[in-house]
Each structure stands twice: as C-alpha cells, then as structure tokens.
Chains A and B, each alone.
Chain A
Amino acid sequence: MGSLLVQEKDIIIPGEILAEGMDYLPGENTYRENDKIHARVLGLVTLSGRVVKVTPLSGPYVPMIGDKIIAKVVDITMSGWRLNTNTAYLALLNVKDATTRFVRKQEDLSQIIAIGEYVIVMIINVTSQRLIDASMREPGLQKIVGGRIIEINSQKVPRIIGKKGSMISLIKTHTGCEITVGQNGLIWIKGTPEGEHKAELAIKIIEERSHLSGLTEAMEKYLGETHDL
C-alpha cells in the first residue's frame, strides 16, 4: 500500500521522503529509490494526479529552446556577438539572426550592437554541452535602450508574470512602466524614474514572498496603497 507523506504546498528539503509505495510516480525534481520517492531540490510539493513533483524555490536557470531572455553583450566575433546569459554559459547571436538588413562583410558590428549593451533574445538552440544560439528575429526582440535592468532568481519568474500575465499587467498598470521579463531572471523596466522604482520594489516583494498563495491580491493592495509614491 502506498501513501503520501506530504501535502501539496509543503516546503520540503533535498532528500526528504515524499511518498512510499508504488502508488505514486516521481515527477520533476524527484527521484525514486527502492519504494520511496525523494525530493531532489528545496521547494514546494505539487501534485498532479498520481505524480508528485517539486517546484523549486531557488536555483540556477537552465537554458531551454524557445525561452525569451535578457542578455548582455560581452564580446564580438567575426560573425556575431557573444552574450552573457546570466548562467555558466555564453550564447552566440549570429549577424543573420540579429538584423534583417544587409550587413556588408567588412562592417563594424559594434556599430549595430556594442559591447556592454543589453538585448532581448530568444534561445533557438541548446546543445548537450550548453552551447546556446540566440536570435532576435521575432517581434519584441530588440536591443535595450533606456530604463533599468534588475535581477531576480529565475525560478521566481512565473510568479512575477502570474497566471496569464495577471501579475505583470497589474504592475504595469499601477506604475505606468513597460516591463519585459526574461526567463533567465533579468527584468527590463522602462518608465518614469518614480514608476521604475516602484515597479522594482514590487518585484522584489513578489520574489521574497513567492512561496505564499494569494499574492496577486496582496500586490493589488500594496500597489494601490502606495500609488502616490
């Protein structure tokens, strides 16, 4: 007979036993040893049917194809740019994926995007050795001009965005800022200095309380109260 030893939304630590017996299946961030299911990371228990998984509360970003990320240009090569993705790995942005216009052979690539600038890119390929190819040929992918960039833990990104973008649009309407959230945990905020500051504070609060439920309501209250900041 199998039994579940934890409840949904419980905080569990690595190695903790989540379930015994064969009635449950190990999902993400868990592993089975003999007849027990153990957690692999610090996080919250999530149940979906018979599958037990763990939603991490912290941890590194793992690059995935299709992710929109914010990256910093750190080097320029013969055929493109090298980007710091806020992970252990650099991404390559090829000239042909960066711009639609014709770039001559001898052209100085730093005139298009200089070292130190930030770009919003999409990951189009990741190898087993974590070599990353990035592209800017999608709507909304561009070089970042103005505003500020803040960093949060990448595991908290889904909470910042909220269900169907509810949280992010809440912050946008209350602060009047344009906000772009990269899956790697970098966030670009652009608006008035006051608005940017307020949005930054709000995001930091969400990051801190991401393990609690009812966050959108709490933030609605918070943003409403300090409206004339």
Chain B
Amino acid sequence: MKTVNSVMLLETLRENTREIILQAEQLKNIPVELLEKTPAKDKWSAAQVLEHLNIYCRYYLDAIEKKLHHDQTETKAFFTPGWLGNYFTKLMEPENNGLVKKKMKSPANALPATSPGAKEMLDEFIKHQHHLLNLLQIAKRHDINKNRIPISIARLITLKLGDTFRFVIAHQQRHFIQVEKTIKAVKPAILKPEPVLN
C-alpha cells in the first residue's frame, strides 16, 4: 500500500472491525461445546483462536491507548505505511478470494491455553473490538505516521501506529477465516444423527 488519506484509512479499518464484531456476535449463537472442540489433535478450537487474538489485543490495545493518552501530535492528512508495516500486514491479510495465504506458527508468547472457556474468550474479544473502534476514532486526531508502537515479539522493533492498526486487524481477519473453517470441521462430528437401531 502506498500513501493514503489517514482518515479514510482509519474509517476503513473501523468498517473492517465492525465486520469482525458481526462475525463474533454470530459466534454467540453457536453451542459452546462446538466452540471448544478442536477439529484435530494439533489444531486449535475456536475458543483457542479467540484467546490467541485476545492475547494480541491485550498487548496492542493497551500499548496504543497509552501512546495516544500522552500524545501531543496533530492529525496528518496522509499516511505512508512503513516497509515493515506493509510486510507484516501483507503476511496476515487474507487473499481477495477470502483464503489465507500461508500457514504460520504462533509465537510462543501468544499460544492459547489447552481449553479456554469459549464464553469468556468471546465476551473479552468483543469488548476489545469496541475498544479498538474507539482507539481508531481517537487516532483520527493524531499523527499515525509519527507515533510508533513496539511489536509484541521484539519490543525494540516498532511499527507506525497506522501500520499497527492495519496489522492487528488483518491478523484478526485471518483468524476469523480459521474460526469459520474450524466450526465447519467440528460441526458434523456432533450433529451426526444417531444410528437407527432396529
């Protein structure tokens, strides 16, 4: 991505976040047993994916909040992504056909528990999304080029605030495709009709 209008970028990211909220709200109507079931031995349940995303939200939203709280910069009309920001976002972003490009391994510090509670994880996740919406709104009044946020796996490396938002949201979009697949995979296993006994 090249230079873009800052407010338009933040507005688009808010729209993306609302789509994630809709998908998350839909998960509320899926039985908890399904959300907590792993499709295969080495794969995550939907609840585990949500915990993984919550781990990211806990770190990034807190870091962004603190940054914006003390920030004195003024809004800048344009945002130019950094090369690292573009690289990380591209790595995460689903393709246009809605598929995830390449499988990746989670960093050790973002691994979920073996069986987190789906309801708790989902409630926490939705809360984070509303927080994220607010931060995106507040960020419209700040310079998203100059403000930088350390990345979670190497605090010495920082991304521009605009890129941090892009990365966090693309990461969530990626994992929501996974959640959809996971639920499809575990559904028939439970809903299979009982064999008829004569």
> Is this pair of chains taken from one and the same complex?
no
